[in-house]
């Protein structure tokens, strides 16, 4: 026994030592990699854009993080991508951009922002070429800004118009005996519709059709300008699947040339006037970001703070992809109390979530607005709770392809009464007062409890309307007419007065500077997220759910995982929700 104990102790000691060495190795790699001040870019180079990771609006202010951009970074920051393109525009060593991407993992508004930055890059006189083995619709939307579009001879171009699919789980609930009890306000508030019906309501079908129609029109307008094809002809091409083969795509004018990648490289060489024995210098975006991040584009003693709020809204601290009142309010307070900061831009990219948390953040925006101007810039989506935290700002900007509105609330309560009966479980409750036993998962919901929850829903909805009425300077009746859970595109939101202007983050920053009365200024970004090392150590200790999610996703597949996550999210919702009226999957 003593031998076994000593052996186990030795093995455990070795494992701990190996773990320490492993961590120290990553520390060393991070420190060494961060020691390079910049990435060398040879003259006459091409910047290659490959978006191989999901794109977030912001991955953190990593100036003091030696691991930033290294082994621990999982997402690409939209702010860093746009900065790189702007720096490349005036970089004499960069002669053009090559977009070599087959599947951009970004929202439509983010893609539109990158496309706009590329359009401005072209104004410098430099070229943009793009190559694809295949183009999905969002990829082609981005590619259409290029001077020349190339497609693999056996590739395909998907151009058919937008669609959205909604899954319904009513029959599944009846078969399993596990259901969601739903209380809601708003005829368009259909976030819970999949759990109470087997088919789409007319109201939901109407709003989805009008929403994706508006988004498609914005895409078509941009593609029309980029490719010099009328919107009418683009819709004909979509209806006839005019890009389904390289030959069709070429004849339709969607692309400029069919080519293998080596032939595409030849085109790049020609654009750079390279001789046969000269090297083609390609600079990867991930490398160039390290260089461009060190370039300060806006300078000045005065500052404008950008507070990034991205992800679901949940009660608590929050993080890189969750909006919690802890981290967001702390960021707003710091920006408000910073004497150098003259205005605040709140960048919102959220489908909503907890109504309570949304109101707590709304209040902090109100307090900040009393001290200095607050401008909102909406990203891919700023709906329901995302709109809630935005509506108090002095001015609101949305992209044409932003999804916003969804002024409505709901509550869901899981119930297993039928399952309990089917498998022979009987739950008995004992309480001291009439309402001591508020609700049991194993008993059917009684009308008294439903009435209390409905009162909470109605109260929250009225509060939401008051915030909208006050923030947008309209009557409660007008706010209600735009509410009922209805979602809108940025274009329609502007027409209806839910937002003030159509524009990107840069437009919002310029507006904030104008409201603050400053001409020259620098930028401060909030909040400060955990460093790459801190996130890595959490993963190593099993504290992060991201590793578990990745494992499940790899095992069951992305599509099945998305369905599982949708059901799980609905089951886990706590309190009254101000959330997007449906899971919007645009194809």
Query: Which residues are the active-site residues?
Result: 189, 384
**Interatomic CA distance for residues 587 and 562, integer angstroms:** 14
DSSP 519: S
Neighbouring CB atoms inside 10 A of 502's CB total: 17
**Interatomic CA distance for residues 296 and 290, integer angstroms:** 13
**CA angle 223–226–227, rounded 5-degree value:** 80
Cβ distance 437 to 431 under 8 Å?
yes
Task: Look at the alpha carbons of 470, 366, 506, 149 in this order and tell me if their dihedral is positive or negative.
Answer: negative
Write the Ramachandran bin of 161: left for phi over 0, alpha for psi from -120 to 50, otherwise beta.
left
Task: Look at the alpha carbons of 198, 204, 209, 211 in this order and tell me if their dihedral is positive or negative.
Answer: negative
Cβ distance 487 to 404 under 8 Å?
yes
Cβ distance 119 to 69 under 8 Å?
no
- How buried is residue 151: exposed, middle or buried, by Cβ count under 10 Å (0-12/13-18/19+)? buried
**Interatomic CA distance for residues 44 and 272, integer angstroms:** 7
Q: Where are the alpha helices (DSSP H) in 501-557?
A: 505-516, 532-540, 545-556
Chain position carrying tokens 């006839």: 240
Provide the residue count of the chain.
587
Bridge partners (DSSP) of residue 377 are: 347, 397
Give the SS3 label for residue 102.
coil
Cβ distance 94 to 283 under 8 Å?
yes
HEC sequence for 438-498: CCCCCCCCCHHHHHHHHHHHHHHHHHHHHHHHHHHCCCHHHHHHCCCCCEEEHHHHHHHCC
Task: Look at the alpha carbons of 280, 284, 285, 288 in this order and tell me if their dihedral is positive or negative.
Answer: negative
End-to-end Cα spacing for the chain: 63
């Amino acid at each position: 026994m003593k031998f076994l104990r000593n052996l186990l102790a030795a093995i455990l000691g070795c494992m701990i030592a190996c773990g320490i060495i492993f961590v120290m190795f990553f520390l060393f790699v991070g420190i060494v990699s961060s020691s390079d001040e910049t990435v060398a870019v040879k003259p006459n180079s091409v910047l290659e854009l490959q978006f191989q990771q999901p794109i977030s609006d912001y991955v953190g202010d990593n100036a003091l993080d030696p691991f930033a951009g290294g082994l621990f970074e999982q997402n690409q920051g939209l702010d860093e991508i746009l900065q790189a393109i702007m720096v490349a525009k005036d970089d004499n060593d960069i002669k053009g951009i090559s977009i070599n991407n087959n599947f951009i993992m970004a929202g439509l508004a983010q893609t539109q922002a990158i496309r706009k930055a590329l359009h401005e890059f072209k104004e410098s006189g430099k070229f943009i070429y793009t190559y694809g083995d295949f183009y999905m619709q969002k990829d082609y939307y981005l590619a259409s800004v290029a001077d020349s579009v190339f497609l693999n001879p056996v590739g395909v171009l998907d151009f058919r118009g937008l669609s959205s699919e909604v899954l319904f789980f009513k029959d599944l609930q009846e078969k399993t005996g596990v259901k969601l009890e739903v209380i809601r306000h708003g005829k368009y508030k259909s976030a819970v519709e999949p759990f109470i019906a087997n088919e789409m309501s007319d109201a939901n079908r109407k709003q989805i059709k009008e929403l994706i129609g508006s988004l498609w029109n914005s895409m078509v307008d941009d593609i029309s300008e980029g490719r010099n094809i009328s919107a009418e002809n683009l819709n004909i091409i979509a209806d006839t699947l005019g890009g389904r083969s390289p030959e069709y795509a070429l004849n339709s004018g969607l692309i400029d040339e069919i080519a293998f990648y080596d032939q595409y490289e030849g085109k790049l060489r020609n654009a750079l006037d390279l001789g046969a024995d000269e090297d083609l210098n390609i600079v990867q975006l991930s490398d160039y970001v390290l260089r461009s991040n060190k370039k300060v584009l806006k300078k000045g003693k005065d500052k404008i703070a950008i507070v990034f709020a991205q992800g679901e809204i949940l009660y608590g601290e929050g993080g890189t992809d969750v909006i919690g009142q802890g981290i967001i309010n702390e960021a707003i307070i710091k920006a408000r109390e910073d004497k150098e900061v003259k205005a605040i831009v709140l960048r919102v990219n959220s489908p909503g979530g907890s109504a309570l948390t949304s109101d707590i953040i709304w209040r902090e925006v109100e307090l900040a607005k009393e001290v200095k101007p607050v401008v909102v810039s909406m990203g891919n989506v700023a709906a329901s709770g995302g709109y809630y935290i935005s509506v108090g700002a002095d001015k609101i900007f949305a992209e044409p392809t932003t999804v916003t509105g969804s002024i409505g609330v709901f509550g869901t309560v899981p119930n297993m009464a039928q399952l309990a009966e089917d498998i022979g479980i009987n739950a008995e409750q004992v309480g001291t007062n009439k309402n001591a036993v508020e609700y049991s998962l194993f008993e059917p919901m009684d009308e008294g409890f439903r009435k209390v929850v409905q009162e909470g829903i109605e109260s929250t909805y009225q509060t939401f309307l008051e915030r909208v009425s006050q923030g947008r300077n309209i009557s409660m009746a007008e706010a209600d007419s735009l509410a009922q859970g209805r979602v809108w595109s940025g274009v329609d939101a502007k027409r209806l007065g839910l937002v003030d202007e159509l524009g990107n983050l840069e437009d919002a920053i310029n507006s904030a500077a104008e409201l603050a009365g400053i001409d020259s200024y620098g930028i401060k970004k909030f909040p400060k997220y955990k460093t790459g090392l801190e996130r890595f150590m959490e993963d190593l200790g099993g504290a992060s759910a991201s590793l578990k999610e990745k494992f499940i996703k790899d095992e069951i597949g992305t599509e099945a995982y998305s369905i599982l996550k949708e059901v799980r999210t609905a089951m886990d919702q706590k309190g009254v929700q101000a959330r997007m009226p449906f899971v919007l999957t645009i194809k």
